Amino acid sequence: MEVRLTREQVLALAPDAASAKAGGGLAIDGKWALLGADDEALWGECQGSGSKPYQTQVDLAALVSRCSCPSRKFPCKHGLALLLLYAAGNPRCVPQARPAWVDEWLNGRRDRAARKEAAVEAAAVAPPPDPQAQAAATAKREQVRWGRIEAGAAELQRWIADQFRQGLANLPADFHAQGQTMVARMVDAQAPGLASQLEAALGEGAPGLAGLGELGARLGLLQLLTQAVARRAQYEPARLADLRAALGWPVDREAVQRDGEAVHDRWHVQGQWLVEQPGNLVERRVWLHGLDSGRSALVQDFSHGGRGWQEQWRTGSVHAARLHFHAGSVPLRAVVTEFEAPRTEATTPRTDTFDAASQAYARNPWLPQVPMRLQDVHIAHDGTQCWLQHAEGALPLQLPGLQAWALMAFAGGHPVCVMGEWDGQVLLPLSAWNARDERWERSAA
């Protein structure tokens, strides 16, 4: 007799509790106009909110699903529901002829796998490239890029100094347009980090007096960065890595796996969120805490066109995995290998202090954000903004409209534990727990 998945195993695939619940709700025979299965795959058509039914399919060997729905979750609720129906032994999930769209996908997957294998074999057979020649080529490429960045940084440096010379209160009428031109120049100079930080400094529209202070401070920080580019030869490797990260220098995943500091641990998922980026790109940020090592880590992935994620992290669960940290004076970002399925474990929650965040920013002022998990805090709302009251003081929370009230309602005036991203000015809460171990999660932006 064939071995079928259990309901629990299927639910463990869910990216979050909401998906698991939604999947459970859709696992009703009547919602599926078409259902079918064979040895390799499982498929179905489910009526969603769109006009056409969603076509959902699962590769049973790899338990990978694909769906025509626009959800960014992976697997989506339709994929989960389909698996749940299958696990429950739905009588319609019996071997039958595959529709063309299932065949197409499975064949595509098979082809891609074969191509990948062939490429690996070819690489194994091909004579190993001369390491010296390779190193020389890399060094030459880097040098060219540094040259461009240096020229760009010098240009930005002059432009910022010009703004200070004429005074921030006397900015020209076309300041914004000039700034945008500089942003484009920084992209041309292969320094996307400078471009994005300059764009953030420019903000939208003409700044008010408080905005001018903020603009000045951000331009000042950029100025330190342009100076650092010129001085990079004096830096130790960790500081140089900080600089490269701040400039937006892409990091090769394999290089990190090879050279990065590796930590095998039981990683507790503290919080995560999806950020929609322009161009149909979704960024996922997952914050982890090593139960044995006590380390914090950020797993940052990007998915284009709703392709989904390699690892499924569920907030609150614990995964054993090996993390390879990117270099830097505050190593946070990491690449995952040896990822294991979640297990439920009693965890002792870690508590951060303001000091930890302070020290991280003292070591690297260009850090985009650091994790902060604060125990025994109260949530308050002053009518315009949500606040977090900690023993050490109050911090502003970045939560839009009703989400702020949702967190207020969740806390109910009682102390809670809040985990979020601190960007140096405001805390962006991602998850919260109360004394009864109920959880609140930030919904996708």
Which residues sit at the interface with other proteins, rule CB under 8 A? Answer: 21-22, 25, 47, 49-51, 157, 160-170, 212-213, 216-224, 227, 354, 357-359, 361-362, 365, 378-383, 387, 389-390, 392-396, 402, 405-406, 408-410, 412-414, 422, 424-425, 438
Residue closer to other proteins by CB (options 195, 215) is 215
Least Å from the CB of residue 426 to other proteins: 10
Q: Tell me the two tokens of residue 136.
A: 């020389």
State the minimum distance, in angstroms, from the CB of residue 355 to other proteins.
8
8 A C-beta contact, residue 79 and residue 25: no
Q: Which is nearer to other proteins, 216 or 306 (CB)?
A: 216
Question: Considering the complex, what minimum distance in angstroms separates the CB of residue 231 from other proteins?
Answer: 12
Cα distances from 347 to residues 102, 268, 321, 417, in angstroms, run 42, 8, 16, 14
Residue 58 contacts residue 13 (beta carbons within 8 Å): no
Neighbours of 40 (CB within 10 A): 14
Q: What are the two backbone dihedrals, phi and then psi, of residue 171, each rounded to the nearest 5 degrees?
A: -60, 140
Task: Extract the tokens encoding 378.
Answer: 């109260």
Report, in Å, the least distance between residue 45 CB and other proteins: 14
Cβ-based nearer residue to other proteins, 71 or 105: 71
Residue closer to other proteins (CB basis): 163 or 315: 163
**Residue 360: CB minimum distance to other proteins, A:** 8
Residue 170 CA to residue 114 CA, distance in Å, equals 63
> Between 50 and 147, whose beta carbon lies closer to other proteins?
50
- Smallest distance, other proteins to C-beta of residue 164, A: 4
Considering the complex, what minimum distance in angstroms separates the CB of residue 34 from other proteins? 15
| Residue that has been written with the tokens 């002053």 in this structure | 382
Helices (H) and strands (E) in the chain, counts: 12, 15
Amino acid at 160: I
Are the C-beta atoms of 287 and 303 separated by less than 8 Å?
no
Residues 76, 78, 84, 87, CA torsion sign? negative
> Around Cβ 382, how many Cβ atoms within 10 Å?
8
In the complex, minimum distance from the CB of residue 378 to other proteins, in angstroms, rounded to a whole number? 4
User: Is 57 or 163 the residue whose CB approaches other proteins more closely?
Assistant: 163
What minimum distance in Å lies between the beta carbon of 350 and other proteins? Answer: 17
Backbone angles phi, psi at 413, to 5 degrees: 80, -5
Q: Cα–Cα distance between 135 and 81 in angstroms, integer?
A: 50
222 or 256: whose CB is closer to other proteins? Answer: 222
| DSSP reduced 3-state for 15 | coil
Exposure b/e, 393-431, CB count within 10 A at least 16 = b: eebebbbeeebbebbeebbeeeebbbbbbbeeeebbbbb
Cα separation, 422 vs 330, in Å, equals 14
Q: Is the Cβ of residue 147 or residue 365 nearer to other proteins in the bound state? A: 365
Residue closer to other proteins by CB (options 87, 219) is 219
The nearer residue to other proteins, 114 or 402, going by C-beta atoms, is 402
Handedness of CA 42, 48, 54, 58 (dihedral sign): negative
